[in-house]
Structure 1
Amino acid sequence: MTELNLLPLTGILVVVVGFALRFNPLLVVTAAGLITGWAVDLNFSELLATFGEKFMNSRQLASFLLILPVIAILERYGLQNRAKNWIANIKGATTARILSVYFVVRESSAALGLLSLAGQAQTVRPLLAPMALGAATNIHGELPKEVKDMISAHSAACDNIAVFFGEDIFIAFGAVLLMDAFLKENGIQGIEPLHIGLWAIPTAIFALIVHLFRLARLEAKICNKIAEIKQQNKSVSTEELA
């Protein structure tokens, strides 16, 4: 009976421990790959060649790494401040309206397969979140940290939820093709990627309605949170004076 070699599984342990300790994800994954390569007796040259091959094949990762420096330069030269100032000059612009428009556009573009058209790094952080914060600041004045965090969280959620439900409509999306292959491998015939995409449309519409309803209540939540924080600060000041 062949002896089971558990050493290659040490890479999984490294990933679990690294993420649990909140280390840098890129360093954790790289360390896990190096340890796994060592466990399966790959020499250093072969290991570097494997890393290089996988990196070159992952074009999306390479594009992401190229986008980050560009976004950093734009932010350094005041992209966020310009976005805030631009929104402040638009009458009727509110946080809920800005996020609602973004959600509709993001989900629609994801349904057409344009997944890289926007995202957390290239749109939410440098543009969407500052615009949403600028609209709230224009209405309520300087915002408490709790309110800023809440608006930033809603901005990030808009992108995640819109993409999650919109991308399944695009029949060439990897998850749709994976589901199609899984069904055929298990003997379930007559279902094509087009069918999966069509059945994803009602779910995407329902997610759109639910999230727009949540965003419609966001303005009231912001007002209530600001009033609550002001009341707390007022109570603290009264106690200190007493």
Structure 2
Amino acid sequence: MLDGFLKGCETMLVLSGILVMVIGLMLRFNALLVVVAAGFVTGLAGGLSINDIVGAIGEAFVKNRYMSLFILILPVIGLMERHGLRERAEILISKINAATAGRIFMIYLFVRQVTVAFGINMSGMVAMVRPLIAPMSEAAVAQGRPVSQRTLDKVRGIAASADNSGNFFGQNLFLAAGGLLLIKGVMEQLGYSVELTDMVLYGLPTAICAYIVNFIRFIIFDKTIQASVARDEADMKAGKLVPNEFNILVTPEELKKEAE
């Protein structure tokens, strides 16, 4: 009985790293330092030496080093935006008379599904939607006219949904997708033999139907967003909305606050 109690105490000591993380994050210390400190506390409580702990951290970093590529994308995209990436995207679309937000979303959704199906990660929201797809679709909707923040938010929401839909329905067409591997593992544990190629074939009709549904949705969006733009123009003529320095329609009260 005493041995069981002591074993339970040892287990609780190992879990003390979680307590360190909770307290550190509550006190708003540097998240990286908190995680490293929690790792050392857990390792020491589990009987590991300093060398073993450092070795385990290094081994985990090497195995998951590809995850740092996502972090490296952020400053690159930020630097490109600072040097006019969004503006160049808007200028490009403004020169194409046939461009509409819906058509941009149709093309992007197709590209997103195909690339994900081949296992190519475009980092969707970070690398494509925010710096490219959203500004291009906003320019296609505005066409040089001032529009309200409400209208811009609608465009950005549909742009995000196009990325989510393409990623969600496209990833199950990739043989090495985590979702398919998980399904295969669970089914085999239950005694059912399934092949990845069969699951991909079953996922193909769903991906096609998802594209068709979104295709129709984007056509409808092109019509409804023009009604929103017309409403913005009517409010501007009535004096309810005025353009600010970013050519976004705001109320006179909001413009006054921005000036202050």
CA drift of 1:149 comes to 1.3
RMSD of aligned Cα (Å): 3.2
1:57 alignment partner in structure 2: 63
Identical counterparts, % of pairs? 28
Size of the aligned set, in residue pairs, is 229
2:246 alignment partner in structure 1: none
Please say if 1:134 is aligned against 2:139.
Answer: yes
2:176 alignment partner in structure 1: 172
Equivalents in 2 of 1:230, 1:13: separation in Å?
56
SS of the residue 2:228 aligns to: helix
Taking structure 1 as the reference length, the TM-score comes to: 0.79
C-alpha change, 1:30 and 1:94, in structure 2 (3 Å) is farther
5 Å-filtered alignment, 1:88-237, equals 88-114=94-120, 116-138=121-143, 141-189=145-193, 191-229=194-232, 234=238
Equivalents in 1 of 2:191, 2:66: separation in Å?
33
CA drift of 1:106 comes to 0.8
1:78 alignment partner in structure 2: 84
CA drift of 1:179 comes to 1.3
Encode CA deviations 1:155-194: one digit per residue, 9 max, x unaligned.
12211110111010111212212211211111112x1111
Equivalents in 2 of 1:206, 1:14: separation in Å?
45
SS of the residue 1:117 aligns to: coil
CA drift of 1:227 comes to 4.1
Report the AA paired with residue 8 of structure 1: L
**Contact 1:11/1:33 (CA < 8 Å) preserved in 2?**
no
Structure showing greater Rg: 2
**Contact 1:8/1:36 (CA < 8 Å) preserved in 2?**
no
**Contact 1:11/1:36 (CA < 8 Å) preserved in 2?**
no
CA drift of 1:52 comes to 3.6
Report the AA paired with residue 208 of structure 1: Y
Unaligned runs of 5+ in 1: none
Encode CA deviations 1:101-147: one digit per residue, 9 max, x unaligned.
10011111211222x235211111111111111111117x1121011
C-alpha change, 1:48 and 1:124, in structure 2 (3 Å) is farther
